[in-house]
Structure 1
Amino acid sequence: MPASVSPIRLTLISAPATRQLQEGIFLGDEGLDASARAQLERVRWTADPGQKIWVSPEARTRETAKALGVNAEEAPELRECDFGLWRGRSLQEIHHEDPVGLRLWIQDLGSCPHRGESFLQLMERVGEWLDLRREAGSCVVITHASVIRAAIVHALSAPQESFRRIELGPLTLTDIRQNGAQWHVRSMGVRLTNAEGSAEHEEPQCD
């Protein structure tokens, strides 16, 4: 890496699971419930002094940032995928009312039967945001598993279908870095430490 190029490190944190996510409901702008807040109380992670903190605009990520004790700047580009007419509705409901649309959505990343945003559109805006990063040093991003999966696919220049094959649990860290020419994935899905400081691991979940 040329001496004149300053490296960039992004630590991406996935927000806790919400009731909607646990119940298989297409996510809207839901805040954190008591269980998620209790999980955050056991987290010992802290940002380094001077780190730039970004957060997606949804209530659950802003509340996560507040619980972690950080002042964050909102980045609309890091918002959750827009599920349009399906927001706040369960997979079971959609399967009953629009089985063809649901099947298309599952099979085709570019499909948008809910009239919101396709996963390909999500990956495009996340990739554009990453490529515009010019802040040298270490930054933190508090966002959603879908956004982090999109960032991983972009960082690796992986096939778009890889998006569906990445699983990330709630309250996990993913570390990606820029060396002046390319992004690299240093680690992914590392769970935040608990109150005793030990690294816990669990089966990953994806949204």
Structure 2
Amino acid sequence: MALRVTFVAAAGSSSLLAERFEDVRPLDQAGWHEVERAAHELLPLAAADLRYCSPSPRSRATGEGLGYAPLVQLALRDCDMGRWRGLTLGEAMAREPGAVDAWLADPWATPYGGESLPAFIGRVGGWLDTRPADGDCAVVAVAEPSVIRAALVYVLKAPPATYWSIDVRSLSTISVAGRAGRWSLRLDGARTQPTRA
């Protein structure tokens, strides 16, 4: 019997360059439009046996907007970025360029005084490993892109630095299946036809 967890990336609340560490801003108008456009495609996931979300305002709003009525999971919160909380990467770089370089070079580094990347990955993986697995169970979890990247690194048992090589776009989905300590990545067929440039 397999547990299947489908992650849905929260709708964006700003451009990627304006993304903030531990962003607590609500979903903006552009984000709500993203949710409206994707709702038809993502609504079937509301039939999951269990529905969760990260505690961030945009994850909760995305889950509610998609009709999931998700339960907030503190273990799915963003990485604790200490004194960099609320800053963009550019702002952190302007204030502490050496610290940002050290953080990007060493996954264990915490020059901001918060959680290390491996600790963050372990926390998210621990959440996965404690999901109920009675029979075939479908779970949907709306989460910040950073949380989904951490989950993928955990599932693939990849080195922590792999985290920086995973791009998670808003309202994208990815599924993992298995049970505690034995997860696999599931890539399903596209739900919509790709647009041509």
Identity over aligned pairs, percent: 29
CA distance in 2, matches of 1:118, 1:201: 38
Q: Secondary structure at the match of 1:42?
A: helix
When residues 199 and 111 of structure 1 are mapped into structure 2, their CA distance, relative to the original with a 3 A threshold, is farther
Deviation for aligned residue 1:71: 1.2
Q: Secondary structure at the match of 1:93?
A: helix
1:116 maps to which of 99, 114, 117: 114
Q: How does 1:40-189 map to 2 (within 5 A)?
A: 40-43=35-38, 44=40, 45-46=42-43, 47-49=45-47, 51-136=49-134, 137-178=137-178, 182-187=182-187
When residues 22 and 50 of structure 1 are mapped into structure 2, their CA distance, relative to the original with a 3 A threshold, is same
CA distance in 1, matches of 2:120, 2:148: 11
List, as ranges, runs of 4+ consecutive aligned residues in structure 1 with deviation greater than 3 Å.
199-202
Q: Secondary structure at the match of 2:32?
A: helix
Q: Secondary structure at the match of 1:174?
A: strand
When residues 20 and 81 of structure 1 are mapped into structure 2, their CA distance, relative to the original with a 3 A threshold, is farther
State the TM-score, normalized to the length of structure 1: 0.83
Root-mean-square deviation (Å) = 2.3
Deviation for aligned residue 1:90: 2.8
Q: Which amino acid aligns with 2:14?
A: R
Q: Which amino acid aligns with 2:3?
A: I
State the TM-score, normalized to the length of structure 2: 0.87
1:110-157: CA deviations, max 9, x gaps? Answer: 111111222111101011111112234110011011111111111122
Q: Unpaired runs of 5+ in structure 2? A: none
Q: Which amino acid aligns with 1:33?
A: D
- Structure (1/2) with the larger helix percentage: 2
Equivalenced residue count is 191
Deviation for aligned residue 1:80: 1.0
User: Hey, what does 1:3 align to over in structure 2?
Assistant: none
Q: Secondary structure at the match of 1:96?
A: helix
Deviation for aligned residue 1:91: 2.6
Deviation for aligned residue 1:179: 5.8
User: Quick check: 1:39 aligned with 2:34?
Assistant: yes
Deviation for aligned residue 1:180: 7.4
